[in-house]
Amino acid sequence: MPDRIVVVGMGCDGAPLSDRAMAAVTGADLVVGAPRHLAAAAGRGQRTVELGADVAGALEVVGAAAGRVCVLATGDPGFFGIVRALAERFGSSGLEVHPAVSSVAAAFARVGLPWDDAAVVSAHGRPLEDAVAVAGRAPKAAVLVSPENPPEAVGKALLAAAAPGRRVHVCSQLGTGAEAVVETDLEGLAAGTWDPRSVVILLSPSADLVATAPVLAFGLPEDRFEHRGGMVTKSEVRAVVLARLALPPRGVLWDVGAGSGSVAVEAAGLAPGLSVYAVEADAGQAARSRRNAAGHGVALHVVAGRAPGALDGLPDPDRAFVGGGGVEVLDAVLDRLRPGGRVVATFAALDRAAEAEVRLGHLVQVGVARGERLPDGGLRLAAQNPVFVVWGPDE
């Protein structure tokens, strides 16, 4: 185990390292970094190890080293960078971090725009569909790309998801002699061949200065979803379910017995960083879930199969909504729930809801009466069937 791990960011503005950062490099017994970083900052007699796609292997080398280790990275290594992996492996108390200008900061600087209101997502070592789900909905976004998911792949995925039109800036090789900033649109982004060492900036027409924040709406009307004969979670019940789920910004959400997918789709829109899985036994309903996800521009993993068997192979959930399958399915979900997670379930029958309450701890009846106009213009309240919402455990 090393005595100290120092992480030094190499600035995307081309600026030299600070005195403290340079001292960290020259005083290290082992320097780890990409070949271009090692060529620029190391080479002073220390042992060096190249940091490539095998991050886990590099972490093993770092863990086995003695003395002081310096890890070189691009820009701000705490921003979608190596600091996360190092802190998870070795603890944050053993890290000393010297950040530099990040590629995203440099990219927005090149196009003369602020970015405190931008959504920043990464397709570098992460699923492209998750990045596209966020970027496609944000008025202002930056996408970090990679050789596996280059800029043109982002453009093609956005067009396939029917994302609204965007002005696009592809900012490549920032801080180098080959730097290039090209303005285009989604069609041009998809049709081009771009350097994978790029940041892709996506702008809606109204995002020149300050982007307008999206409206946070719980319980979208039922007519916003394709459904079969009213088989959709009613908007008022859905609002309560989503509130009780207390959606985290990242993690895994299961919607088990998803039906037309209204809960899963709305959750994916409210928390785009979640990986959302909709599990549905009926093939027609599963297809509706896919169409509803596409219509709302969100990423949704639809699993056509009957729970609990269909849950095998899915990543363990941080949150789960059980809209069908009864207590047997609820037990299967609880067996897989991650520590600190939460499950919400809905029932039409009180006896089944009571069984679920024993397991989860909380129960409420949601009774709704909607206003309807009479033929003579008067207003009456039309009662909907009551639904029991059960949730827990407490966080």
pLDDT of residue 25: 84
- Provide, rounded to the nearest whole percent, the portion of the chain with pLDDT above 70: 93
pLDDT at position 352 over 90? yes
- Predicted local distance difference test score (pLDDT) of residue 308: 92
pLDDT of amino acid 30: 85
User: What's residue 390's pLDDT?
Assistant: 95
Give per-residue pLDDT as tens, 116-132: 888 898 888 788 888 88
Q: What rounded mean pLDDT belongs to the chain?
A: 86
For residue 213, the model assigns a pLDDT of: 52
Which of 23, 42, 44 minimizes the C-alpha distance to 32? 42
Give the pLDDT score at 34: 82
Strand-pair partners of 72: 8
- Of 33 and 207, the one with more pLDDT: 33
The model's confidence at residue 272, banded by pLDDT at 50, 70 and 90, is confident
Mean pLDDT of 277-287: 92
CA–CA distance, 372 with 367 (Å, rounded to integer): 16
| Confidence (pLDDT) at 336 | 96
For residue 387, name the pLDDT band (cuts at 50, 70, 90): very high
**Report for 42-56, 60-74, 206-220: range of highest mean pLDDT:** 60-74
67-109, pLDDT tens digit by residue?
888 888 888 888 888 888 888 888 888 888 998 888 899 999 9
CA nearest to 67, candidates 23, 6, 2, 1: 2
CA-CA-CA-CA dihedral for 262, 230, 279, 353, to nearest 10: 100
Question: Mean pLDDT, to the nearest integer, of 210-235?
Answer: 69
pLDDT of the residue at 207 = 56
Q: Is the pLDDT confidence value at 139 over 90?
A: no
Amino acid at 25: V
Task: Give the number of other Cβ atoms within 10 Å of residue 180's Cβ.
Answer: 14
Q: Is the pLDDT of residue 59 over 70?
A: yes
Q: What is the widest separation between alpha-carbon atoms in the chain? A: 92
Report which listed range, 122-126, 138-142, 240-244, is most confident.
240-244
Per-residue HEC secondary structure of the chain comes to CCCEEEEEEECCCCCCCCHHHHHHHHCCCEEEECHHHHHHHCCCCCEEEECCCCHHHHHHHHHHCCCEEEEEEECCCCCCCHHHHHHHHHCHHHEEEECCCCHHHHHHHHHCCCCCCCEEEECCCCCHHHHHHHHCCCCEEEEECCCCCCHHHHHHHHHHCCCCCCEEEEEECCCCCCCEEEEEEHHHHHHCCCCCCEEEEEECCCCCCCCCCCCCCCCCCHHHCCCCCCCCCCHHHHHHHHHHHCCCCCEEEEEECCCCCHHHHHHHHHCCCEEEEEEECCHHHHHHHHHHHHHHCCCCEEEECCCCHHHCCCCCCCEEEECCCHHHHHHHHHHHCCCCCEEEEEECCHHHHHHHHHHHCEEEEECCEEEEECCCCCEEEEECCCEEEEEECCC
Q: What is the pLDDT of residue 186?
A: 94
